[in-house]
């Protein structure tokens, strides 16, 4: 499906929905795209935390993705 077709389908669905929650969520998602163009300048504390995390990774002090997911599931009681 082409980009034009996708846009047309999306516009049609927006025009035909009466669900305010869906419209609000679509607006939020579209605003995320606009906001993502902003550049974030890290402050000194953020830079320090990033450097600490990079050092932890370099030293092997981290959980692999699957282990982190497992711990999260256990913590959430799933």
- At 54, list the tokens: 């990079």
CA distances from 17 to 6, 30, 33, 37, 62 (A): 17, 17, 22, 29, 45
Average pLDDT over residues 60-78: 90
**Cα separation of 17 and 14, whole Å?**
5
pLDDT digits (tens, 9 = 90+) for 11-30: 999 999 999 999 999 888 88
The SS3 call for residue 64 is coil
Contact 63, 71 (CB under 8 A): yes
**Cα separation of 68 and 62, whole Å?**
9
Global pTM value: 0.41
- Residue 77: pLDDT band with limits 50, 70, 90: confident
């Amino acid at each position: 499906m082409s980009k034009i077709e996708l846009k047309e389908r999306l516009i049609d669905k927006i025009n035909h929905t009466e669900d305010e929650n869906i419209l609000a969520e679509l607006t939020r998602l579209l605003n995320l795209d606009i906001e993502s163009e902003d550049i974030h300048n890290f402050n000194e504390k953020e830079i320090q935390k990033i450097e600490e995390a990079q050092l932890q990774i370099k030293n092997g002090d981290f959980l692999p993705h699957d282990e982190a997911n497992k711990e999260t599931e256990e913590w959430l009681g799933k």
